[in-house]
Structure 1
């Protein structure tokens, strides 16, 4: 299987990865956004509506997010409220009258009692009952409060009065608003969302997990139904992974073909060339099996390891085949100890070099080192154990030629 999630390549405990995974768990989407542009406000509105209609999109941010919608309707509502709010004023500051305050709290509690009795069962009734109980508790505290509590209550009253006065003042000042347009957007936000050329930026939030291959493919495919030139980190990552996946497949194929061609040119014998290639294929298949046993998936960190394995594995097998050919022509053992240990030491030094990558905290580098180590061991074993056996099994048998000399036939006597 191929693991497309780039987060799995980073070192465990990386802060950025931890936060990205938290966002995925809590919001169900990535923090990275796709980008699109529009040339006018009308086109911007159309694209925002089109993107928001997609199932894989959770939200679309643009300069329109900073400009209120339905301003005329809202202005009419404020105009209707204005005559009601205009005469409202805040009373002058006054001391706290405990009996009057207690009477007001008791009256509020009675009204809440009626509301709780008439409210239908459900969350609304539960909220009313909770508010009634809190009001009743406040009434009991006021009944038990001593006159010395009046200054504290007066301070609280002044704070509430000041807050209400500020809120009421803001409401009155905004009862007759002027239309808000693009020019009213703060400069920093406008520079972020509107380019120097006048084009408008759209930031498209995904609803799916774009680190998952299926989620990313769905997100990009749907976005391109609205804008074929959509860009951003999700699109760049998706396309980069697609090209890298294709490149590693083609690279492995080209490496295998080149190794086979070089083996045929150097050995110049079909049988030995095929056997060397078979051992290489066997080592590669063993590597895939070892990856499964170690729980190591293919990912963008180790996909380039297979061409390296093919190259090194071909060297091991080629050395064995060449030494076998020399022994066949000039006599001697087919695989002498010197050749065996030379190939073995060569392979082990390569294993040690690639294995040193496994000390890295980066999981992508560690996975690459593990893959190369397993691949070197598998191809080395195939070259030193399996290949000599195959060479001996397929070695042509010599046929002994026996020369039989028969005596000449006896001469007949003359009649």
Structure 2
């Protein structure tokens, strides 16, 4: 149930979804809300939190039960994402470790590999990540320079990655590499790599503008020898197509995250402006405050209906790259507008990091960048006109 729109029910949301939402809200309120300051100071979420989240059945909601998942649908992943954001969290890397990375294994690994790897990810025993971005290649995935050279029954991987979510603590990483640097997108492959593999090295956990508790790190691969069987899909040249098939899911997840953060910001600001007084009356009584919040509430509701449409498309197996790019761009642009207007209504307190609105403001900015910048989203949309 939406705090801002208590009578609104998405058409895709069933009673099972609502029960899961209540469970997630209770769990995250106890596990996430009180620990944000601690995690921001240490730059990562405690490993025990992953294990408890797995025990609570909140990781890999739509991975089949035979592989350790919950056997639900993608809508369950998205509503759990919403509840995580509503709890005030900006640190827990579940979007990558549950919504995104496991599905590369579920869709492209062998049956034996699925049974070996997925239960550890679904339980929270393994934290997972996907390593795409490089110092010289961000949204342009064809610019990846990490190499994977065949050597008998192995590939030897050399290169580096940056801005990797969960990178500092991941036990399992899907690595994007080139088996042929001259073949363009046809030379790309995805490799499943355990972090214990010799040659796998972690760089520093990066200092970010916001989301300080989120573990974002550099990774280095120095003559890292990976079994040839660990190439996802079983052959070279499939990596780019695998990424293109999975990126719509990632972009919708970002849109859900952005929507929930914008909604939480508006709820928080309404409560604050009811209590805070200026010139002898609550700030909410001023016309400017009402007009700003009216704008914000309208933008959130308009985006919510679009996000729900995209979730319906995803559940029907119809979500395409263009639609996902559009909703990612819309939701993240909307978030930046809304959270900025809300922060302004807090006055000087909005600039203090102990206030959740300041944390949201700092955490929101990256959403127009990761998952493909919004400029790239426009390019994807524009090509289909």
The answer to whether TM tops 0.5 is no
TM-score (normalizing by structure 1): 0.21
Q: Of the two structures, which has the highest relative contact order with CA contacts closer than 8 Å and spacing of 6 or more?
A: 1
TM-score (normalizing by structure 2): 0.23
Q: Please tell me whether Structure 1 or Structure 2 has the larger radius of gyration of its CA atoms.
A: 1
